[in-house]
Structures are given as structure tokens and as C-alpha cells.
Structure 1
């Protein structure tokens, strides 16, 4: 049971690290994007905006793997997760990974709620 509380953090860490690394290594086939995603990506593609987000994903994904740094990692990853969900809803127009990522962030925040009490 004690190991079970680490599952959301490990899943989040792997998802965000993989997402960040694949962006920089250009790994994986280019898949067609739904909705207005191609338009959105063409606007932000050359600005460096996505590169900054992907660096934050890698940093947050690495930090969340260490229990002592999970609260800091959630402060980085939670806004990114919400933006992924909003991208899915408003830009892609379809459900992607946004809901599972936000749910994992919420579960991890609940598990680490004692670390956030000072912020309330």
C-alpha cells in the first residue's frame, strides 16, 4: 500500500519527461492534429514558447520522481496540465491526454496536501 502512493508521481514524471524529450529529439511520427491544433501549432512553433514549456515539463517531470520535491514539481506541472486540458477542449476539440493528466495531478496534490497547507 505504501508503494501505491508513488504511482501517480511516477506516471506524471514519465509522461512529462517523455513529452519534453520527444519534442527536442523529434521522436515519433508526425500525426495529423485534430481541430484547430495545426493553426495553433504554426503560430507558436517558431516563437520558442513551446521549447520553454517542454523544458519546464522535463524539470517538473524529473522533480516529481523525488518525494521531497513533489510539491515544487506540482507547482510547475499543474498549470501545464490545465493548459493541456484546455488545449484538448478548445483547440483540438477532442479528448486527449488532458483529463488523465489533470486527474493524476489532483491525486498527487491530494496525497501531498500537507505540503500545500502553508499556501492556503
Structure 2
């Protein structure tokens, strides 16, 4: 049971590291899937043309590395938290495919477990 946070941190970190490396390597999703709504296409175009997505992916990489290291896990969660919320909002409001998908549920479950496991370290953030 004491190794469970290490396993969860490694899995969550590996996912975000892989997502960011795939972006920087130029790996595209396979063609032939469903066509995204116009809002999602417009949002993706704005993110890509302004360079904003590069910044997000740098923070995903940094957060993934920090989450995978037990001593820096909570700093990684602080970085990845807003990114996870934005991914959920994107899928719910722009992509319109909902937040109840396997990958999204897995990411949220791992992040919430790690927050719960490290809750004592976050106690100092009170007012």
C-alpha cells in the first residue's frame, strides 16, 4: 500500500510526459475519426497559430516529470491541476463528447488519489 502513490505518480507522470513528447515530435492522431465540432476546430486553430499550445505542452512535460518524482509530486500536481481542468472543459464544452471517457476518468482518478495521498503536505496552503 505504501508503493501505491509511487505507482500512481509514475503512471500519471508517464501519461503527461508521453502527451507532450508526442506533440513536440509531431505525432498526429490517426485520420478517419469523427469530425470535431466547429468550435473545437476554431479553438485548436487559435491555440496552434499563437504558440499557446507549446507553452501548455512545456508545462505538461514539467508537471509530468515532477509528478513522477515522489519528493516533487505535489508541485507537479499544482502544475497539472489547471491543465486537467482545461482538458475536461474542452471535452465537455467544445468537443461535446463528455468527460466520461476512459482516459479522462483515469487521469482524474490518479490525480485525485495523489491529492488525497499528499493531503497533509497541502495543509500549509490554508489562509
**TM-score normalised by L of structure 2:** 0.85
2:50 matched to 1:47? yes
Q: For residues 16-35 of structure 1, what are the structure 2 equivalents within 5 Å?
A: 16-31=16-31, 32=33, 34-35=36-37
**Given the alignment of the two structures, is residue 105 of structure 1 paired with residue 111 of structure 2, yes or no?**
yes
**Structure 1 segments unaligned to the other structure (5+ residues):** none
**Secondary structure in 1 matching 2:27:** coil
Greater radius of gyration (CA): 2
Which deviates more from structure 2 when the two are superposed, residues 18-27 or residues 30-39?
30-39
Q: Is the CA contact (8 Å cut-off) linking 1:63 and 1:72 kept in structure 2?
A: yes
Once the two structures are superposed, the pairs formed by residues 1-120 of structure 1 within 5 Å of their partners are 1-31=1-31, 32=33, 34-35=36-37, 36-95=39-98, 96=101, 97-120=103-126
Q: What do residues 84-107 of structure 1 show as CA deviations (whole Å, max 9, x unaligned)?
A: 111110011113433332222111
Gaps of 5+ in 2: none
The 2-side partners of 1:94 and 1:8 are apart by 26
Say how many residue pairs are matched.
120
- Per-residue CA deviation, residues 44-74 of structure 1 (Å, 9 max, x unaligned), is 1111111000000000100111111011001
CA contact (8 A) 1:78 1:102 kept: no
Deviation for aligned residue 1:114: 0.9
User: Quick check: 100-109 or 12-21, which moved more?
Assistant: 100-109
Worse overlay, 35-44 or 104-113: 35-44
Query: How far is the alpha carbon of 1:118 from its aligned partner?
Result: 0.1
For the 8 Å contact 1:85–1:99, the answer to whether it is kept is no
